[in-house]
């Protein structure tokens, strides 16, 4: 049995901790990864999906070119070239990480599956046991597969396999969250007919009510949306009316709360109903580490579990399932591992997120429905893009910025943006909010001079409450 100073499970943001501990502190480090190096974000998540979506965004610009007096004729979509570009970039980056680790003696890389066989004992590939007084679990999440009758017998994909899809004529998506909406935007822009079966009455229902309502309306005009429906049965229909064999058609039977049924048919089926933690794949129960009812690892404010010396970060913790938050937590995990007597609690102030649909969405802080539920007194302001100079220039008629402000002291409680470059515009708000709980006031934005005409003026205009 080999002993290390630190064992890291997962090569996403956990890799940052492993490298820093090895190079800066001289820890003898083991890093275990059963899949491609770089984690979900690089290989199956944010990077490949945004590479795909950028192609979709360009197509949307081309479609809108006539608004600006430009006629584009006979443009052609090379779906395979789009996919090849994504695979080349992702595989190159992942392989470079792999080569770098394999060439280094520390951290030592184990490209195999692992599981706990004791509190701090880990079995690798059923033939090696390693141990350490300090372990960091950064094993991430995987797509959740629902228990729908017939689904096991029908070919389907998740976001993990989205790159394997051909540019089909018809795609059904079960789920209506951000992953479903991003992939609907990509495939829909390329000409695929999109069906979305969503059990909620709105798409992206966890967003602010004004965002989710507007997005639902926009998507309903472009795609076939079945709101308030639960998928109950999936099956093939492989014969036409004359009894002749033909290409397999996937059928989904869904039911709403009123007892009404719909049958949705397509060439491909994509499951996008959220993600579940990989803690169960590690036999986590044998480590003694506590998990919650959803399987996420329970940690304290220092990212330490109930077992002293075992830490966890990122999606497997489930607090904010974003790569930028995992990177944020990695900094604290590193400090708290190498300086156990000087631990620092994680600062989760103003953790933002973005959804790369068309239109783009970005948000931080409370939603209006959360404030209402918690009975927090607030004021709100909504300002449309089109009423600014640059908003008129780019003809963004859907975009808007919404602020939610504490009625007592004018601190920013939340900001929600939909429209062009929303993921960029939100950063001005983040800086204002990160100043501090009592100083992150809306006045920090109104006192800032904004370039005219620039799109950021919509932030300034919305801030005048």
The enclosing domain of 295 has a CATH number of 3.50.50.60
262 and 280 share a domain?
A: no
Q: What is the number of other CB atoms lying within 10 angstroms of the CB of residue 100?
A: 12
Does 6 share its domain with 136? yes
Q: Is residue 347 part of a domain?
A: no
Indicate whether 198 and 264 sit together in one domain: yes
Nearest Cα to Cα of residue 49 among 426, 323, 365? 323
Of the candidates 252, 273, 294, which is a domain's last residue?
A: 273
Cβ neighbors of 446 (< 8 A, separation 6 or more) are 460, 463, 464
Domain-embedded: residue 361: yes
Same domain, 331 and 247: no
Q: Are strands 135-137 and 310-312 parallel, antiparallel or unpaired?
A: parallel
Kindly state whether residue 343 falls inside one of the protein's structural domains: no
Q: Are residues 117 and 27 in the same domain?
A: yes
* Dihedral in degrees, nearest 10, Cα atoms 88, 89, 91, 92: 100
Q: Which CATH number goes with the domain that contains 432?
A: 3.30.390.30
Tell which residue, 127, 158, 210, has the closest CA to residue 398. 210
The reply to whether 195 and 301 lie within a common domain is no
Specify the pairing of strand 378-384 against strand 310-312. unpaired
* 361 and 407 belong to one structural domain: yes
Residue 344 lies inside a defined structural domain of this protein: no
For residues 150 and 172, give the distance between their C-alpha atoms in angstroms, rounded to a whole number. 15
β-pair partners for 137: 9, 312
Residue 253 · residue 231 · CB < 8 Å? yes
255 within a domain of the structure (yes/no): yes
**Looking at the structure, do residues 17 and 78 belong to the same domain, yes or no?**
yes
CA–CA distance from 209 to each of 177, 204, 216, 361, 463 (Å)?
14, 9, 10, 13, 19
Q: Look at the chain and report how many structural domains it folds into.
A: 3
Beta strands in 307-429 (DSSP E): 310-312, 352-355, 361-365, 378-384, 400-406, 412-418
Instruction: Please indicate, yes or no, if residue 326 is contained in any of the structural domains.
Output: yes
pLDDT at 396: 97
pLDDT value of position 439: 72
Give the phi and the psi of residue 161 in degrees, each rounded to 5.
Answer: -110, 15
Beta bridge partners of 124: 114, 128
Regarding whether 95 and 48 lie in a shared domain, the answer is yes
Contacts of residue 158, Cβ cutoff 8 Å, sequence gap at least 6:
143, 145, 270, 271, 272
Instruction: Write the CA distances from 152 to 147, 168, 403, integer angstroms.
Output: 9, 21, 45
Query: Do 23 and 115 sit in the same domain of this protein?
Result: yes
Residues 280 and 135 in one domain: yes
CA distance 133 to 402: 48
Do residue 310 and residue 219 come from a single domain?
no
Nearest to 114 by CA among 14, 25, 233: 14
The sign one gets for the Cα dihedral 209, 213, 218, 223 is positive
The dihedral sign for the CA sequence 113, 285, 119, 117: negative
Q: Is residue 407 part of a domain?
A: yes
Q: Would 281 be classed as within a structural domain?
A: yes
* pLDDT tens for each residue of the chain, 465 residues long: 899 999 999 999 999 999 999 999 999 999 999 988 888 877 777 888 899 999 999 999 999 999 999 999 888 999 889 988 988 998 898 999 989 988 888 999 999 999 999 999 999 998 899 999 999 999 999 999 999 999 999 999 998 887 666 666 899 999 999 999 999 999 999 999 999 999 999 999 999 999 999 999 999 999 999 999 999 999 998 655 555 545 689 999 999 999 999 999 999 999 999 999 999 999 999 999 999 999 999 999 999 999 999 999 999 999 999 999 999 999 999 999 999 999 999 999 999 999 999 999 999 999 999 999 999 999 999 999 999 999 999 999 999 999 999 999 999 999 999 999 999 999 999 999 998 666 789 999 999 999 999 999 999 999 998
CB 325, CB 353: distance < 8 Å: no
Query: What pLDDT was estimated at residue 22?
Result: 96
**Helix H or strand E segment including 234:** strand 229-239
Q: Which of 273, 298, 318 is the last residue of a domain?
A: 273
Residues sharing a CB contact under 8 Å with residue 259, sequence separation 6 or more, in sequence order: none
**What is the distance, to the nearest Å, from the Cα of residue 206 to the centroid of all Cα atoms in its chain?**
13
Give the range of the structural domain holding residue 404, as residue numbers without chain letter.
352-463
Residue 162: HSE in the Cβ half-sphere, 13 Å Cα cutoff: 31
Rounded to whole angstroms, how far apart are CA atoms 28 and 3?
9
Task: Provide the pLDDT for residue 283.
Answer: 97
Element (H, E) at 430: helix 422-434
Q: Which of 273, 290, 312 is at the close of a domain?
A: 273
- Please tell me the predicted confidence (pLDDT) of residue 166: 65
């Amino acid at each position: 049995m080999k002993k290390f100073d630190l064992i890291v499970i997962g090569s996403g943001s956990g890799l940052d901790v492993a490298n820093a501990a090895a190079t800066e502190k001289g820890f003898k480090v083991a890093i275990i990864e059963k899949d491609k190096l770089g984690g979900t974000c690089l290989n199956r998540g944010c990077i490949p999906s945004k590479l795909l979506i950028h192609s979709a965004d360009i197509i949307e610009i081309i479609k809108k070119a006539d608004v600006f007096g430009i006629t584009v004729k006979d443009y052609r979509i090379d779906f395979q070239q789009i996919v090849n570009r994504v695979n080349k970039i992702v595989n190159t980056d992942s392989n470079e990480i792999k080569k770098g680790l394999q060439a280094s003696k520390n951290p030592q890389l184990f490209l195999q599956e692992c599981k706990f066989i004791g509190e701090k004992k880990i079995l690798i590939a059923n033939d090696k046991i390693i141990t350490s007084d300090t372990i960091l679990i950064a094993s991430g999440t995987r797509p959740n597969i629902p228990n729908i009758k017939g689904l096991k017998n029908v070919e389907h994909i998740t976001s993990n396999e989205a790159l394997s899809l051909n540019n089909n004529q018809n795609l059904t998506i079960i789920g209506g969250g951000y992953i479903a909406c991003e992939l609907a935007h990509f495939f829909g822009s390329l000409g695929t007919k999109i069906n979305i079966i969503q059990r909620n009455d709105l798409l992206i229902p966890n967003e602010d009510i004004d965002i989710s309502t507007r997005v639902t309306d926009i998507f309903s005009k472009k795609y076939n949306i079945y709101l308030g429906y639960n998928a109950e049965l999936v099956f093939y229909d492989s014969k036409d009316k004359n009894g002749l064999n033909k290409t397999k058609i996937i059928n989904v039977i869904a039911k709403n709360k009123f007892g009404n049924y719909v049958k949705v048919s397509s060439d491909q089926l994509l499951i996008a109903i959220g993600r579940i933690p990989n803690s169960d794949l590690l036999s986590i129960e044998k480590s003694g580490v506590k998990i919650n009812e959803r399987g996420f690892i329970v940690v304290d404010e220092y990212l330490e579990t109930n077992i002293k010396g075992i830490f966890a970060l990122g999606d497997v913790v489930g607090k904010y399932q974003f790569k930028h938050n995992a990177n944020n937590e990695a900094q604290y995990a590193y400090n708290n591992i190498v300086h156990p007597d000087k631990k620092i609690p994680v600062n989760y102030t103003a953790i933002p997120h973005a959804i790369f649909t068309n239109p783009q969405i970005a948000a931080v802080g409370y939603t209006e429905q959360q404030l209402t539920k918690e009975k927090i007194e607030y004021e709100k302001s909504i300002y449309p893009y089109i009423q600014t100079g640059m908003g008129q220039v780019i003809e963004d008629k859907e975009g808007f910025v919404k602020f939610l402000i504490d009625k007592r002291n004018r601190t920013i409680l939340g900001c929600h943006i939909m429209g062009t470059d929303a993921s960029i515009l939100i950063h001005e708000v983040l800086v204002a909010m990160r100043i501090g709980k009592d100083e992150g006031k809306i006045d920090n934005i109104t006192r800032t001079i904004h370039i005219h005409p620039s799109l950021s003026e919509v932030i300034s205009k919305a801030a005048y409450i």
